[in-house]
Amino acid sequence: MSKIRILPEQLANRIAAGEVVERPASVVKELLENSLDAGASRIEIEIEGNGTRLIRVIDNGEGMDEDDMLLCLERHGTSKIATDQDLAAISSLGFRGEAIPSIGSVSRMTITSRPQGSSLGTRVALDYGKVINVHEIGCSRGTIFEIHNLFGNTPARRKFLRTTRTELAHIEEVVKSYAVAAPAITFIMRVDEREVLHFESSQSLPDRLAAILHYQGQFMEVGKADNKDCHAAYVHGYLLPPDAIVASSAGIRLLVNGRAVRDRMIVHGVAEGLRNFLMKGRNPAGLIHLRLPPEDVDVNVHPTKQEIRLRDSQAIHQMICQAVEQAMQEHQKKLQSTIFRAAPLQEHRPQPEPTSQPVPRQDKLPTTPLPFSSVPKPFYPESPVSPAAASTLQTTEPIPAPFSPTTQPLSTTQQALPAAKAPGHGLKIIGQYNNLYIFCQSENGDLLVVDQHAAHERLLFEDLKRQFMQGHIASQTLLFPATVELSIAETECVEQHGDEIKQMGFTVREFGGNSFIISAVPAMAGQCNPGELFVDILARFGNADEKKGKGSILDDILASMACKAAVKAGDTLHALEINALLTRMARADLFSHCPHGRPVLKHFTATEVKKWFHRT
């Protein structure tokens, strides 16, 4: 007698249910996808208990007649595909014909449906996969699925379910995902006859997403990114700004051709687009909807169709990254238009060319304040500007007198800062608080607080990155070269990354053994200790995470260089330096966050300030 036997149909369905129906949320997902494929414009979901007692999904789609209802109970009965060509280009959410018979095999299921043009509908009742009743019934157009006593015949599966709150949370997530995937459709969800979600078709997608994320600010809209490798593909979505305050559980929802999916590559592309704007430990949040030709997506690689495979994942990753970067740039422009007055281009001073002549290192900073430039000047302690020094500055504007906001009264500070003539940024400088934060007032009376270190760090980082991409960071030759002793690992790192180190503005040569001589450093880091800066860069090369791309590693190194060269907390700034910093921020392409993701500024409207003191 043969050992191999064909399994009974009912047992095969229960095995399939083990893959397709993981928990009550899996049932809701499959039924929602069927309703959307049926062209429904209104879908209602009713849950009792944790979903095992009752799941009812009501839609007003095209409905089914009696023959179709009986056929949909058979395994692999589907109206979505018919040929091999159809399978190669899936455009519907469901297509395998496994969901309904699988769900029916582990529950008591009732289906009521009426197609348009028919005066009566049909009701079919199943008891754990067995059809027990079929009869005509008067009903509305569309389909009603009722799932009672889910996993009633598989107590082991029910035993592994989580708490009621957890299972309901999973169901809510499914409904929310498809609510943003189909914003033109009304979704209503009730739990124990209590309405917990209601999305009307008249609601816009951003409003629907804001309600889901409990966010009241403005989104960054992600549009199509030009990519020659993705002619028929585009990406659209809405992301929260990096410093948005939302629940820690808020994440990013991914859609591919209207299907809610999980894909680490897409999430990585979004994170790469927001690189140097997200703080460590924070993840992007919002919605990304990727539209691709159906033949470029394989949705048949996972039993629940929650994971997909893309034909050209590298090109798609690049497209998403570019789209998110463009969205961030547009967000920066909106911030600038809100905060700063338009900076006249004719006031922009030419950037001095970096010198290649030996410059002596100075342990003590000079006392003459100078404006910011691409080769940053140090920030100086309080001291008056001498007439001789003032005459050497290339400016037609009067040099503001120095100020000490921590020791002088407000009226004196305002007199010392001719803010009405603030060049290029249109802000009235109130003063410097705690030698770290710059307080300003905008033309409409709003309050702006700027972190001087974070702001300068971002500007220096963008300068370093731009110079690096152009082939070489401006260097400064040291009058007295520095000697460093390196470990064996650090010596190997110098040999391995010699080209990148040279491109960063260092000139290094061997001096015998593990000794190296540093004769030039990046001009922006001219005030830093050459040996410490060089060893820190080698350490970052050596500790680089292999999972990170080369661009991320270089960005981390350039960010470290910018951090060391930027003005520090505790440095007192003169009015001229503050004006120069704000003017550069008003003209910069990217300015709102330091390279490590910390916000550069905080904006308070006049109304918000009044609320603090209950004046509204």
Is residue 394's pLDDT more than 80? no
Q: What is the pLDDT of residue 224?
A: 63
Inter-residue long-range contacts of 402-408, CB under 8 Å, 24+ positions, other chains counted: 402/369, 402/574, 402/575, 403/431, 403/432, 403/574, 403/575, 404/572, 405/430, 405/431, 405/432, 405/433, 405/439, 406/432, 406/433, 406/434, 406/435
- Three-state secondary structure call for residue 203: coil
3-state secondary structure string across 209-264: HHHHHCCCCCCEEECCCCCCCCCCCEEEEEECCCCCCCCCCCCEEEEECCEEECCH
Q: Is 455 exposed, middle or buried (0-12, 13-18, 19+ CB in 10 A)?
A: buried
- Three-state secondary structure call for residue 485: strand
User: Which two structure tokens, joined as six digits, stand for 311?
Assistant: 């034909």
Q: What is the pLDDT of residue 141?
A: 95
Q: What is the DSSP letter of 569?
A: T
**pLDDT tier at 404 (50, 70, 90 boundaries)?**
very low
Q: Are 248 and 213 in contact (CB under 8 A)?
A: no
Q: What is the DSSP letter of 513?
A: T
Angle at 179 between CA 174 and CA 185, to 5 degrees: 135
- Tell me the pairing of strands 220-222 and 194-199: unpaired
pTM: 0.81
Determine the Cα–Cα distance for residues 101 and 73; give it in Å rounded to an integer. 5
Is residue 517's pLDDT more than 90? yes
pLDDT in tens, 317-373: 999 999 999 999 999 999 998 888 654 443 444 444 444 444 343 333 333 333 444
Q: What is the mean pLDDT of residues 538-556?
A: 79
Angle at 112 between CA 109 and CA 118, to 5 degrees: 160
| Mean pLDDT of all residues belonging to the chain | 84
| Other Cβ atoms closer than 10 A to 395 | 14
Q: What is the pLDDT of residue 444?
A: 87
Q: What is the pLDDT of residue 363?
A: 37
Q: Which of 110, 145, 142 is nearest to 31 (CA)?
A: 145
Q: What are phi and psi of 326, to 5 degrees?
A: -65, -40
**pLDDT tier at 197 (50, 70, 90 boundaries)?**
very high
Is residue 423's pLDDT more than 80? no
